[in-house]
Amino acid sequence: MAYPRTVMAWLFCFLIVMETISGPAALLQSDIFRDPPRITNSSTPTLIHKRGDSASLFCEASGMPTPTVSWTKNGEPLMDSVGRKTVDGNRIEIVDLHHEDGGVYVCTFTNSISQVSQSIKLVVEGSAFIMTPPENTTVREFQKVKLNCQAEGYPENITYRWYRDNVDVKLHPKFMERGEIQIDGRLVISNVLRTDSGWYRCRPTNGIGMAPEAKAYLNVTYPPEVLPVERNVYFPKGMTDYLPCPIDANPPVYTVTWTKNNQLVDLSSNGRIGLGQDWSLVFTDIRSEDTGAYTCTPYNDNGMGRSSDLMQVVVRDPPYFTMRPNPYYQRMPGESVTFPCAASGTPLPVISWRKPDSYVPDDSRVSRDRHNLTISQLQKSDHGKYECVAKNAVTTVITSTLLIIEMTTPHAPYNVTVTTTQFSAKIDWKPAYDGGYPQRYVIWFKRENDQGWQTISVLPLEATSFTIHKLVPDSAYEFMVMSRNQLGNGLSSNKVLARTKGYDGSLPITPPTNSMGQTYFPRIESPQGPRPGTPENITAILFDNGTIRVSWDPPTASQVPIFYYHLRYRKLGSARWETTSGKIKHPQTYYTLRGLLEGDTYQFQVIAYSLYAYSYPSNVAEIVIDRLAQVGVGIRCQVHAIFNPQTS
């Protein structure tokens, strides 16, 4: 607004304070010093953070009298700092944001005049999180089933996928004709079938991060059902046979009843007939009276299943051999052999030959004349058992013979087993044919990852068991057994892998012994169990004849018995330690050395050994070998110790 220049002037307002103010003057004073709360600053109305981040919410306000502030979240008051959340006046700090930290936060400022509020929406953005996972569910066939999978996340546009046996359910043929995935994530299957049993996985996603998964097993139960069986069955008189009752059931059947000619079979009154583990009906010493029409009926917790089709049993004589091969045949390499075989029966049986542990050669050396088997130009590999098989609709009968090929190297041992301790392995085997000469055995063994094999000859010669000693504890070894005779080496057995036992907590006070009763100290490659204490007070003394005597004290505190020591030495400045030959058996605590070079300074250390572990090295003793000492003039040496307990 503009004023004419002629009326412009200074305007002043004077406030006169009187001792007593009442009436309109008092009202004037009250209105001047009171101001309702007003928001002057705050966080943005919407804060978006990722799960795991930190968030800070604040509000600022003015007013007279000074307003007080309070906070609510989703309508509930926030009074104190709790856990990851700190409420400090007009500010809230939250660390490691969780999904449940999201919501609407309201700061309210209040004074004696009025109040004012400000809303701040905190959105914790993150991948979908499964709130209600599916649970293992059992349902009867043809009923409806619902598998839950409720998830939350931000953004809230969650898509649900279900998988059965790692395949999307929508890709299973005709599955979605009976099933649907509802908007809340539930998988609903109507008219559920037994083939629907399996593992189901729910995978919700909102496009952020990795989709979580939860799985559950759907178990569809149904009454038992007998699978198709043969309608006409021949039983061999005088022999053993059975009638099957193949069943599909869930849960498993708990009993099966059998009928013969519509009458219940009383298993308790007939010792020749009984139930097999698979609910089959087993007959022994079959007789003509066993002829008849049989059915089986299964039961489970869902009720009685339908009976099987009729199985008509006809009892007949089994096929029989009219000609058999001899029990065994002995031949030399290059010769021929003929195995005769003939059989009869109703119906007429079919005859074939087989070699149980291998196969009948199929080359020009083999011929079949009627039912006889002839092998010419015999080889070592032809050695073994042969079977003539006669089969018809009633049953199968077998007769066998053994072909022995003599004057060959031995055949491979078999059924090799290995039993281990911490330091040894006992190998057992079955001997194969010796080729016609006495055979002996050689054990081949090695650490699993080693390149070369070690061999040990077995004594006595006829032994089929042998123990190898001085093995490393808790280590994998490979073993083979090879046989040989005067014609040479035979084939080796299959390899057997076995692991020696490790430290078992025991503390032996005597060393192990070998097959001769001699004690030995096993090799230690890495400590197992508690270590022995460290040897102490190591000293080295140089004598005028040039010898050096190194001595030490045994450990004052050792958790395990000490069996021996190793003394090692090196020239000063060298990184490589040399070990004296042999083990220094406890309780000896000294060792004498000769032949070290004059004019050099040497260092010495001692290591203590138990059966499973070794100690940390002792302190270092250091000595200078003077030339005068070498020629016998007198003792001139320096001896001192350096503390170095962890040197390896």
Mean pLDDT of 33-59: 90
3-state secondary structure (DSSP) of residue 289? helix
Residue 83 main-chain phi, psi, to 5 deg: 55, -115
pLDDT reading at 379 higher than 90: yes
pLDDT digits (tens, 9 = 90+) for 590-616: 999 888 877 789 999 999 999 999 999
3-state secondary structure (DSSP) of residue 39? strand
The enclosing domain of 139 has a CATH number of 2.60.40.10
CB atoms within 10 A of CB 594: 9
pLDDT of residue 32: 58
The domain total for the chain is: 6
Lowest mean pLDDT among 172-176, 236-240, 289-293, 437-441: 172-176
pLDDT of residue 346: 92
Q: Is the same domain home to 214 and 171?
A: yes
3-state secondary structure (DSSP) of residue 536? strand
Q: Is the same domain home to 343 and 328?
A: yes
Which is more confidently placed, 365 or 30? 365
pLDDT of residue 31: 52
Residue 326 lies in a domain: yes
Residue 126 lies in a domain: no
Mean pLDDT of 433-443: 94
Q: Is the same domain home to 245 and 298?
A: yes
Alpha carbon of 338 to those of 352, 387, 407: distances in Å? 14, 13, 20
CB atoms within 10 A of CB 556: 9
Instruction: Tell me how far apart the alpha carbons of residues 57 and 93 are, in angstroms, rounded to a whole number.
Output: 7
Residue 116 lies in a domain: no
pLDDT reading at 155 higher than 70: yes
pLDDT of residue 191: 92
Residue 546 lies in a domain: yes
Residue 79 structure tokens: 């009074």
Q: Is the same domain home to 384 and 331?
A: yes
Q: Is the same domain home to 290 and 345?
A: no
Q: Is the same domain home to 177 and 271?
A: no
pLDDT of residue 417: 97
Domain edge (last residue) among 222, 242, 276: 222
Q: Is the same domain home to 475 and 423?
A: yes
Residue 127 lies in a domain: no
Residue 518 lies in a domain: no
pLDDT reading at 237 higher than 90: yes
H helical segments located in 202-338: none
Domain edge (last residue) among 179, 204, 222: 222
Query: What is the extent of the structural domain holding 564?
Result: 536-642
pLDDT of residue 526: 86
Residue 415 main-chain phi, psi, to 5 deg: 50, 50
Residue 422 structure tokens: 């911490």
Mean pLDDT of 546-574: 91
pLDDT of residue 523: 87
Ranges assigned E (strand) in 559-627: 564-571, 578-579, 584-585, 590-593, 601-609, 620-624
Q: What is the pTM of this model?
A: 0.56
Residue 646 structure tokens: 């962890």
Q: Is the same domain home to 482 and 494?
A: yes
pLDDT reading at 156 higher than 90: no
Mean pLDDT of 516-531: 88
Using a 10 angstrom Cβ sphere, with 0-12 exposed, 13-18 middle and 19 or more buried, the burial of residue 628 is middle
Q: Is the same domain home to 431 and 490?
A: yes
pLDDT digits (tens, 9 = 90+) for 338-362: 999 999 999 999 999 999 988 898 8
Name all contacts of 557-560 with Cβ < 8 Å and 24+ positions apart. Answer: 557/533, 558/532, 558/533, 558/608, 558/615, 559/530, 559/531, 559/532, 559/533, 560/507, 560/529, 560/530, 560/531, 560/532, 560/610, 560/612, 560/613
Q: Is the same domain home to 302 and 339?
A: no
Percent of the chain with pLDDT over 90: 67
Lowest mean pLDDT among 1-15, 318-332, 358-372, 429-443: 1-15
Residue 27 lies in a domain: no
Alpha carbon of 606 to those of 34, 541, 566, 586, 591: distances in Å? 91, 15, 6, 12, 10
Mean pLDDT of 459-472: 93
pLDDT reading at 640 higher than 60: no
Residue 631 lies in a domain: yes
Q: Is the same domain home to 164 and 212?
A: yes
Domain edge (last residue) among 404, 434, 455: 404
Q: Is the same domain home to 439 and 459?
A: yes
Instruction: Tell me how far apart the alpha carbons of residues 347 and 349 are, in angstroms, rounded to a whole number.
Output: 6
Question: Which candidate, 207, 243, 210, 248, places its Cα nearest to that of 226?
Answer: 248
